[in-house]
A and B are shown apart, each in its own frame.
Chain A
Amino acid sequence: MMVSDAMDETPKTEGGIRLTEQQLRARRSRSVAIALALGAFVVVIFLVTLVKLGSNVLTRPM
């Protein structure tokens, strides 16, 4: 497989990697876990920002 092929926007259906049912299931569960972890990280940053800055979150020097 060439990098130039991989960058081609047209999806290749022949000759590419075909995932088995088990690999698809595993990838889906990893994707869900990454999404949940990123969501949790965003929530943590949001809450800590509120706690640390409080109402000052809107106050900034012009």
Chain B
Amino acid sequence: MSVTLARIEPSIAGFGDYVALLKPRVMSLVVFTALVGLLIAPGHVHPVIALTALLCIAVGAGAAGALNMWYDADIDARMLRTAGRPIPQGRVTPGEAAGFGLTLAVFAVATLGLLVNWVAASLLAFTIAFYVVIYTMWLKRSTPQNIVIGGAAGALPPIIGWAAVTGGVAVEPIVLFLIIFFWTPPHFWALSLYRAEDYARAGIPMLPVVAGEAETRRQIVIYTLILAPLGVAPWLLGYAGPLYGIASVAGGAAMIALALRVHAERQGHSASKQMFGFSIFYLFVLFAVLLADRLWGGLAAQAVSHFAA
């Protein structure tokens, strides 16, 4: 028996194209928030196991990014922000991206399960599936609530980090989940206010496209009013120090002030652009201070026990 093989054009995808498929900027945020979840967790885990967990979470997030680019290649090509991605540019075929993403997802989940624990691995598998199936394939093209519900995927990494150490889930990482969850809508809606034409061209029902600018500005204020007190919660619940308390109160107040400016803005989008930029800084500061707080607290406790001995 002989089978005739179709001639396939050899790939021109280089290393950089595959790195781009992993969405490295999103991945860095995922790793950072997972690291915070991992470090605030009670108990001890060997640094090699902790690094392995972070590596698996990073690869899992990258896999989700590659699968997102595979499925969204058609709308990516129609948006200015995403038209330069490897698939719309023709450097990577959709099939290559799908195979790459699926392989990495399976490897990341299996490795996390076998080397760390299966609770963390199950959460990682759920996060990838939620992002790819629920957000990318379903919500993104069908409802203006896409980034509200889909934001859950981006909010889960601190819980995965916590589960990697404890093998379970508790209130502390759930509060971090809620912070990222309620941060996502004002962050993306601020962006979508000045990129509405881009989203409309791609046929994505973002809130400004479907409900108009006024409603989007109102929703940004509502979500920011929920977000600001949530940001302070780690301090109120006692697992973050006074430095975090000051940073979260000041950052939350600034976020509310910016949201009110966005709400009042009638001409242009300077307030929306400021809100988008500041929201990234706000989330980064919250998690960085929490991280510094924990590292400093750990070092201080070690020093006290050293001198007491």
Contacts and interface: CB of A to CB of B under 8 A. Distances in A.
Interface in B1-43: 2-5, 7, 10-16, 18
B12 A22 contact: yes
What does DSSP make chain A's interface, helix, strand, loop or mixed? helix
Contacts of B11: 23, 26-27, 30
Contacts of A52: 115
Contacts of B18: 30, 33
Contact of B48 (A3, A27, A41, A48): A48
B54 to A, nearest CB: 11
Counting chain A CB atoms within 10 Å of each CB, the highest count among B5, B11, B14, B16 belongs to: B14
Interface residues of A, number: 24
Contact of B2 (A2, A29, A32, A47): A2
B197 to A, nearest CB: 35
Given A23-B11, A48-B115, A6 B52 contact: no
A62 interface: no
B164 to A, nearest CB: 13
Nearest to B10: A23
Given A3-B3, A6-B5, A51-B49, A44 B55 contact: yes
B46 interface: yes
B52 A2 contact: no
A51 B46 contact: yes
B3 A29 contact: no
A6 B4 CA distance: 11
Nearest to A5: B2
Interface of A: 1-4, 6, 17, 19, 22-23, 25-27, 29-30, 32-33, 41, 44-45, 47-48, 50-52
What are the nearest 9 A-B pairs in CB distance?
A29-B15, A26-B14, A29-B14, A33-B15, A23-B10, A2-B2, A51-B48, A48-B115, A26-B12
29 contacts: A1-B4, A1-B7, A2-B3, A2-B4, A3-B2, A3-B5, A4-B2, A6-B5, A17-B7, A19-B10, A22-B12, A23-B10, A23-B11, A26-B11, A26-B14, A29-B14, A30-B13, A33-B15, A44-B52, A44-B55, A44-B111, A44-B115, A45-B115, A47-B48, A48-B48, A48-B49, A48-B52, A51-B49, A52-B115
